[in-house]
Amino acid sequence: MGSMHKFLRLLGIALLASFVTVGRGPAAGEEVDPEALKDAFFRTVFGLEYGGHADAYRVKRFVGPVRFFIDDRSGTGRQLEAQRFLNRLPRRIGHLQAAVVNQRSRANFRVILVRAQDFADVVASELQADSIAMNARCLVGVTTMNGRIQQSTAVIVADDDFLFPRCLVEEVLQGLGPMNDDDSLTESVFNDQSQHAEFTKFDQALMNVLYHPMIRPGMTGTEAHQTLPLVFADLGLSH
């Protein structure tokens, strides 16, 4: 049996003076460039941010249903907003089976909403991590075995209007598998320097590639490179 690995993915957003547009993706009919998408797939799925763990160099994703549980400790009333986003995911990511459950014991993906003042303590207790040392603003922890995600836990600041929409989208998507960031991905939330605070069309395409049945957890980069042309053709993403 393969060993179990635990990864931590942090979001350290620099607060920009520019306005962040929420809820508006690319214009209807805008195409996703296949070459840019292929590049983004390898940059996010095979990131070296977690060197030292074998699964850092392999495809990581859930197999079987994802069961979200929202643990709202913030008192902000944003649980329904989070639930609406989570409920929409299966409609936007083909082959992803996901639902929000009411019992923590049934969940394999916990979304914890907290106030900023409590963030460090919750991260320490739930993820055994030092958010201050990591300069983290939001954080997701993922436990894997042979590339199969066993459990994800995202800790999201809910009482900050700037952070909340960005954290919700990015940390949930990261907790589904593509855990690396890259500053070159201008059309993606997988870039802490971007201003996107919504599930972009580009990221939707990336997640559909990751959760295509031909992309298997545990795949190496070489194996994925050989398989991607078939996946892109099936998804209608080829030139």
pLDDT of residue 81: 96
For the record, the structure tokens of 188 come out as 């993606």
pLDDT of residue 29: 38
- Region 4-17+32-234: CATH code: 3.40.390
pLDDT of residue 187: 66
Domain positions in the chain are: 4-17+32-234
pLDDT of residue 70: 98
Give the separation between CA 239 and CA 229, rounded to whole angstroms: 11
Amino acid at 120: A
- Which parts of the chain sit beneath pLDDT 50? 1-3, 10-29, 48-52
pLDDT of residue 91: 95
> Vertex 55, ends 148 and 186: CA angle to 5°?
95
Indicate the pTM of the whole model. 0.85
pLDDT of residue 14: 32
